Structure 1
Amino acid sequence: MQRLFSHVFCFLILCFSFTFFQPAQAQILNIERARVEQDSANYLTGKLGVNFSMFNRNAGKSNPNNYLQLTFHGNLAYVSSQNSYLLLNDYNYLLVNYDSKEQRNTVASTGYSHFRINFLRKRKLSYEVFTQVQTDKARGLELRTLAGGGLRLALLRENDVSLFAGTGLMHEHEEWEDLEQEGTNLQIADLLKSTNYVSTRVKFNDQLSTESIVYYQFGYDPGIRRMRNRVSGDVSLNVKLNSRLSFLTNFNCTFEDRPIVPVTKFVYALTNGLQVQF
């Protein structure tokens, strides 16, 4: 039976990967939102959410900007007796028609696909390996890939409250386009970085819970002979409507002290939507 679950999980990973391996987002990963802390083992669970919106902003009396936005996120987890396997996907597509006469459009797509394994998940000190692919076309990030591993320490693990800390190393490859200078070559960076996080989960009652995570990642760039630092965070509030459906409010932000190309150093996003758990 365990072997059957493993085969099913691998098949679903492939399906999700082919579906969402599109230019996918520089959004912060809240890995705690996808983790499962139940004692039972050898089962598959997941969460899906889709948001769709269409609206306009008047740039002039006869020149409205029309916006079409589609956001999808899907998490999949398989839990065995010793390990847990997480697959996280997020994709946002924004189409802006800013000149209806000439039908000129601009498209901004962001998203990520992230796979993580937590070995010996029930121990106070466990081990993790992960890999990720993402993009953020709106900011000029054509591609970011990373792979690494590290330690995960359970500082507090109660029924309604948990607190974890993690540290490790990763290799990060980035390809950036300078949107302010058209026709320039992509700026490429390959760095070995330290990645560290603190995460928490609090369940207030059967209907209300929250998860949050803060990352600090840094690495030395020989190209500029200086350190590059990134601090990011994610906070989500989950209101359970019934056994399957929840309302989710999420805020995430990122600060980079030395971006690869000239972009806004501090970016944030606040989103609301529905989430289905299966």
Structure 2
Amino acid sequence: MKKLIIIPFLFILAFLFSFQTYSQILKVDKGDIDADSSGYFLGSTQADFNINNRSTTAEKEVTFKGLKVSADLVYVSDKHAYILINNLNYFTSTGGPLISTGYTHFRVNLLRKNVLSYETFAQIQYDDGRNMPLRRLAGGGIRWALARDKNYKIHIGTGLMYEYEEWQSIDDGSIITKEIPKNSSYIGFKTALNKFVRFNGIVFFQGGMDTDSDIFRSRISGDLSLSVGLTNNLSFVTEFTAQYEDRPIININNWVYSLTNGLKWNF
């Protein structure tokens, strides 16, 4: 009984914290942001919890625990859409440190009903696991709706952004800062395979010249989400996220990914 009380309590705390604390995929399935109606809110919350003890031997048992919480909120006005995306992760393994990552992304889609519309955005992020205490950026660009149908949507966007990052050196713990103007482009899609199953995805490319090091740095990141409706508001979600950096600022893996399963509540 205590566990049944503690788990929802942890979820509520993480959900609330994620609003005050980043893949950038909007997981709001209820309603249609491109619809003619206006003056309404859409939102969703999602919680993924993973635990396993996959080990080679009983003597060297390793337990992995992970918690991921996301919360999306959208306000749709007559001409524009205001989008807030939040994500928070905690994970640890036996003998290892507690690692957390998180981001908040705010985006405004101006003249949302037009085939060619405009966007402004800002983001703040941290990633303990990759020694990045802080990342923040702001920018804007254009968005082109390639396809708008009842069951599927395809859109692309491109623009400019200014990025500030702090990285902690693995060798001596010193903080390395980078300020780089970059191009930010993406392609995204949403499709309803049937009444209950939805498949969403987005891929970002961000690149710019690091004048301090005289090299071009780029990053590709993506997010795929498969949602199966259980009720009108509750869905089971499988999500895959990945990121590749061609020239990391510190000596870390170029390629990282995650695969999670969980429940999502739409409102």
Category of TM-score, reference length = shorter chain: 0.7 to 0.9
Match of 2:37, SS state, is: coil
Alpha-carbon distance in 1 for matches of 2:179, 2:16: 24
Match of 2:25 in 1: 30
Alpha-carbon distance in 1 for matches of 2:179, 2:65: 35
Match of 1:260, SS state, is: coil
> Percent of aligned positions with the same letter in both sequences?
38
Give CA-to-partner distance per residue, 1:51-98, whole Å, 9 cap, x none: 233433547654533433221111011111111011111101113341
Match of 2:84 in 1: 87
Over 3 Å counting, the alpha-carbon distance change for 1:271 and 1:52 in structure 2 is: closer
The answer to whether the 8 A contact 1:56-1:65 is kept is yes
Match of 1:234 in 2: 223
The answer to whether the 8 A contact 1:32-1:199 is kept is no
The answer to whether the 8 A contact 2:244-2:255 is kept is yes
The answer to whether the 8 A contact 1:33-1:211 is kept is no
Alpha-carbon distance in 1 for matches of 2:17, 2:47: 18
1:213-252 equivalences in 2 (<5 Å): 213-252=202-241
Alpha-carbon distance in 2 for matches of 1:184, 1:53: 31
Number of equivalenced pairs: 251
1:251-270 equivalences in 2 (<5 Å): 251-270=240-259
Match of 1:193 in 2: 182
Alpha-carbon distance in 2 for matches of 1:20, 1:177: 26
Alpha-carbon distance in 1 for matches of 2:257, 2:17: 28
> Comparing 125-134 with 50-59, which one deviates more in the overlay?
50-59
Match of 2:8 in 1: none
Letter in 1 for 2:102: G
1:1-278 equivalences in 2 (<5 Å): 19-22=18-21, 25=22, 28-31=23-26, 36-58=33-55, 61-98=58-95, 106-179=97-170, 181=171, 183-278=172-267
The answer to whether the 8 A contact 1:93-1:107 is kept is yes
How far apart are residue 273 of structure 1 and its match? 0.9
How far apart are residue 224 of structure 1 and its match? 1.4
Alpha-carbon distance in 2 for matches of 1:39, 1:151: 21
Alpha-carbon distance in 1 for matches of 2:225, 2:49: 19
The answer to whether the 8 A contact 1:134-1:145 is kept is yes
Match of 1:64, SS state, is: coil
Gaps in structure 2 of 5+ consecutive residues = 1-14
Over 3 Å counting, the alpha-carbon distance change for 1:262 and 1:236 in structure 2 is: same
The answer to whether the 8 A contact 2:69-2:89 is kept is yes
Over 3 Å counting, the alpha-carbon distance change for 1:167 and 1:218 in structure 2 is: same
Alpha-carbon distance in 2 for matches of 1:94, 1:32: 22
Gaps in structure 1 of 5+ consecutive residues = 1-15, 99-104
Over 3 Å counting, the alpha-carbon distance change for 1:266 and 1:54 in structure 2 is: closer
How far apart are residue 211 of structure 1 and its match? 1.0
How far apart are residue 259 of structure 1 and its match? 0.7
Letter in 1 for 2:93: V
Match of 1:138, SS state, is: helix
Alpha-carbon distance in 2 for matches of 1:31, 1:110: 18
How far apart are residue 145 of structure 1 and its match? 0.5
Alpha-carbon distance in 2 for matches of 1:86, 1:201: 16
Q: TM-score scaled by structure 1?
A: 0.84
Give CA-to-partner distance per residue, 1:4-37, whole Å, 9 cap, x none: xxxxxxxxxxxx8965444xx4xx1124757733
Match of 1:11 in 2: none
Over 3 Å counting, the alpha-carbon distance change for 1:117 and 1:261 in structure 2 is: same
How far apart are residue 230 of structure 1 and its match? 1.2
Match of 2:227, SS state, is: strand
